[in-house]
């Protein structure tokens, strides 16, 4: 898809953008149709209306709240962007969008990949509280190992990352990005626990939890824009997830008698200490921040990988993969 779309924009410029928008979903449809058509067909039996209704009701009890929460989140994003435009102008929307793409979407790709494997497994053991607790903690460790070093690097190297991916004109997005990165750390920590409500089928409670977080983000961002300008949008993102974590502990935690394990607390404490004592001061050493930030990021990555290997057989998994 990208191999088709990017050359179109490269050769034809802005004229190709509408065609690029159409080519991406069309390519997905054609490739998906080709792959599905090659799957061997199985014999099926017809279901009665009553049987189908039972299945629809199960899917609807969870699917509708999850969909509604997604719509609410999208609506909140549009609301925030509109508020930024009204108070700070169109240029500020570009800065906010740039920082959001880096802080949220890139880490979101990692979390999405993790969740695709994690969610079905959690659903299979959700009735066993001990097994569910162990899986949530284990998945939190994995998420921190993968996303933790990225968060450190994005925090310290924010100005250079923005310049590299966009241009020097987007430098005002730096402080917004750093606040969002800290909020993303809280999102990573809460990510595995948030799946408990969905795995258990508690759609209504899931929607309430997400709605409260979205409302907090909108409210905190609105107030932050009034007092701090564009940086207030980043602060609002951080506050929303600072509220989200304890809300999840109250709503999802009791379902499996959950508490974070000692290793998770150690990892989270290490990341927090690193941000406060190393990364934050390095921000003001512009000449050294790239080198020091890179060293901190890779050192954190190595430390987390060693710690995770003590609990999970990573070397055995890699050896099996090679075979």
pLDDT at 192 over 80: yes
Q: Are 27 and 4 in contact (CB under 8 A)?
A: yes
How far apart, in whole angstroms, are the C-alpha atoms of residue 184 and residue 107?
Answer: 8
Please list, in sequence order, all residues whose beta carbon lies within 8 angstroms of the beta carbon of residue 261, skipping any fewer than 6 positions away. 137, 141
- Whether the model clears a pTM of 0.95, i.e. scores above it, the answer is no
> What is the three-class DSSP state of 311?
coil
Cα distance between residue 166 and residue 269, in whole Å: 32
Q: What pLDDT is stored for residue 164 in this prediction? A: 85
Q: Which residues contact 273 (CB under 8 A, 6 or more apart)?
A: none
Q: Would you say 130 and 258 are in contact if contact means Cβ atoms under 8 Å apart?
A: no
- The four Cα atoms 76, 79, 84, 85 give a dihedral, to 10 degrees, of 150
Give 23's contacts (C-beta < 8 A, 6+ positions apart).
1, 4, 5, 8
Percent of the chain with pLDDT over 70: 80
Per-residue pLDDT band for 75 (boundaries 50, 70, 90) equals: very high
Cα–Cα distances (Å) from 54 to 63, 64, 78, 200, 220, in that order, read 14, 15, 36, 18, 41
Q: What is the mean pLDDT of residues 12-37?
A: 77
Q: Are 264 and 140 in contact (CB under 8 A)?
A: yes
Inform me whether the pLDDT recorded for 180 exceeds 80. yes
Rounded Cα gap, residues 245 and 223, in angstroms: 21
| pLDDT per position as a tens digit, 136-178 | 998 898 888 888 878 888 888 888 888 888 888 898 898 899 8
Look at 282 and 250; give whichever has higher pLDDT.
Answer: 250
Residue 203's pLDDT band (boundaries 50, 70, 90)?
confident
Instruction: Find the range with the poorest average confidence among 152-156, 253-257, 317-321.
Output: 317-321
- Comparing 314 with 204, the larger pLDDT belongs to 204
pLDDT level of residue 81 (50, 70, 90 thresholds): very high
* Token reading at 213: 């977080």
pLDDT at 305 over 50: yes
pLDDT at 317 over 50: no
Q: Cα angle at 9 between 82 and 95, to 5 degrees?
A: 30
- DSSP letters spanning 254-271: GGTT----HHHHHHHHHH
Q: What is the pLDDT of residue 256?
A: 92
Residue 303's pLDDT is: 72
Mind listing the pLDDT tens digit for each residue in 206-226?
999 999 999 999 999 999 999
Residue-wise pLDDT for 86-114, tens only, equals 999 989 999 999 999 888 877 777 788 77
pLDDT surpassing 90 at residue 276: no
| φ, ψ (nearest 5 deg) of residue 40 | -60, 135
Distance (Å, whole) CA 136 – CA 258:
9
Residues 284, 176: Cα–Cα separation, whole Å? 16
- Residue 320 banded pLDDT, cuts 50, 70, 90: very low
Q: What is the mean pLDDT of residues 255-281?
A: 82
Mean pLDDT of 299-303: 71
Can you list the pairs that 85-92 forms with residues at least 24 positions away whose Cβ atoms lie under 8 Å?
A: 87/225, 87/226, 88/225, 88/229, 88/230, 92/172, 92/230
Instruction: Report the pLDDT value the prediction gives residue 310, as an integer from 0 to 100.
Output: 66
């Amino acid at each position: 898809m990208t191999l088709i779309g990017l050359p179109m924009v490269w050769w034809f410029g802005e004229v190709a953008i509408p065609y690029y928008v159409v080519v991406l979903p069309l390519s997905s449809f054609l490739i998906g149709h080709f792959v599905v058509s090659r799957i061997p067909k199985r014999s099926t039996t017809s279901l009665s209306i009553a049987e189908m209704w039972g299945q629809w009701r199960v899917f609807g009890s969870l699917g509708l709240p999850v969909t509604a929460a997604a719509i609410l989140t999208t609506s909140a994003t549009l609301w925030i962007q509109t508020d930024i435009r009204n108070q700070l102008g169109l240029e500020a929307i570009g800065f906010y969008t740039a920082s959001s793409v880096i802080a949220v979407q890139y880490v979101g790709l990692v979390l999405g990949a993790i969740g695709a494997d994690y969610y079905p497994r959690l659903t299979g053991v959700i009735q066993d509280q001990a097994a569910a607790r162990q899986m949530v903690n284990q998945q939190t460790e994995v998420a921190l190992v993968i996303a933790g070093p990225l968060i450190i690097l994005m925090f310290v190297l924010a100005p250079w990352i923005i310049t590299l991916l966009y241009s020097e004109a987007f430098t005002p997005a730096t402080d917004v990005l750093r606040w969002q990165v800290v909020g993303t750390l809280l999102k990573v920590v809460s990510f595995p626990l948030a799946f408990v409500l969905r795995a258990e089928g508690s759609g209504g409670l899931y929607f309430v939890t997400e709605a409260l977080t979205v409302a907090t983000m909108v409210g905190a961002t609105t107030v932050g824009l009034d007092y701090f300008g564009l940086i207030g949008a980043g602060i609002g993102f951080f506050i929303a997830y600072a509220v989200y974590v304890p809300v999840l502990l109250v709503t999802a935690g009791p379902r499996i008698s959950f508490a974070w394990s000692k290793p998770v607390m150690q990892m989270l404490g290490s990341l927090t200490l690193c941000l406060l004592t190393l990364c934050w001061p390095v921000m003001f050493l512009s000449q050294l921040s790239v080198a020091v930030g890179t060293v901190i990021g890779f050192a954190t990555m190595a430390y987390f990988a060693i710690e995770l290997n003590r609990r999970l057989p990573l070397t055995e998994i890699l050896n099996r993969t090679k075979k």
